[in-house]
Amino acid sequence: MQPSPAEIARTLAAGHLPAVAHIACHPGPLPVRHVTDAQGRPLLLVPVEAALSTALRPQAGNDDTALVLDIRDVPPMSSSPSLGRVWVSGWATRLTGDQARAAALDYADTDACGDLLDVGDSQALYRMDVAEVRFERTENLVEIDPDDYAEATPDPLRAVEFDLIADLADHHVAQMSDYVRRQLGPAARPDDDPRVVRLDRYGFVVRMGARSARLAFPRPVRDRHDLAHLLHPILCRRCA
């Protein structure tokens, strides 16, 4: 089992990666800080004096602004394959009062940055209503239904993926190599040196020179602690 396009799109848009905004009637993309709420709606944290704030100002007669949020994956290792790129299109509305305070709490769930304390003063929060989601990977473009996108959940390991891969490389190379060889069976080669290069709730990708393979967990994991519980017997055969 592996992540669906909707799950990957939610993971890429979650707020752990840099993004740029393409805004209607404004030339060129602008960098933007963002996270997504529980429904996958992007929340944009914008300095009120910045060019982005000016670009997001609605045209006369409107109360929102059309834009496209463009987010590319940043793989955890140089040898890691990219998850791809996602474009989230919709309309952004500036939040005020109780809505802004509630959105600041949602934002803090992903990124508890100090600038949230200045929302309503030098910072503003905008919320995007999602109209279209497109996901591209290895030159294959997929249109994702906005309802499927909203119902999917970001990968719970994405924010700590680098740390987990580094820990496996630093402390569990022999055990992981042995496990991968057992799973590959006859397909394993004597000179293989398996290295984990991607990790998600459903399993991991290992690279062996020019080859790679995806190995699935017995079940999806819920968080880092659940992963540790699941990996313990995998890395220690005597514990299985």
Q: Rounded distance, CA 179 to CA 234, Å? A: 7
Q: Are 182 and 206 in contact (CB under 8 A)?
A: no
Residues in the chain with pLDDT values less than 70: 236-240
Which residues contact residue 24 at a Cβ distance below 8 angstroms, ignoring those fewer than 6 apart? 65, 66, 67
pTM of this structure = 0.92
CATH T-level assignment (fold) for domain 5-152: Pnp Oxidase; Chain A (2.30.110)
For residue 205, the SS3 value is strand
In DSSP terms, which residues pair with 89 in a beta bridge?
A: 68, 132
In DSSP terms, which residues pair with 21 in a beta bridge?
A: 30, 69
Each residue's pLDDT tens digit, 23-42: 988 988 999 999 999 999 99
DSSP code of 156?
Answer: T
Q: Extract the tokens encoding 205.
A: 């990708």
Residue 218: name the closest of 206, 198, 204 by CA.
204
The residue extents of the domains of the chain are 5-152, 160-239
Q: Rounded distance, CA 70 to CA 213, Å? A: 29
**Predicted pLDDT of residue 209:** 81
Which class is domain 160-239? alpha beta
Q: Are 68 and 21 in contact (CB under 8 A)?
A: yes
**Predicted pLDDT of residue 237:** 56
What's the N-to-C CA distance of the chain in angstroms? 22
Q: Rounded distance, CA 110 to CA 13, Å? A: 12
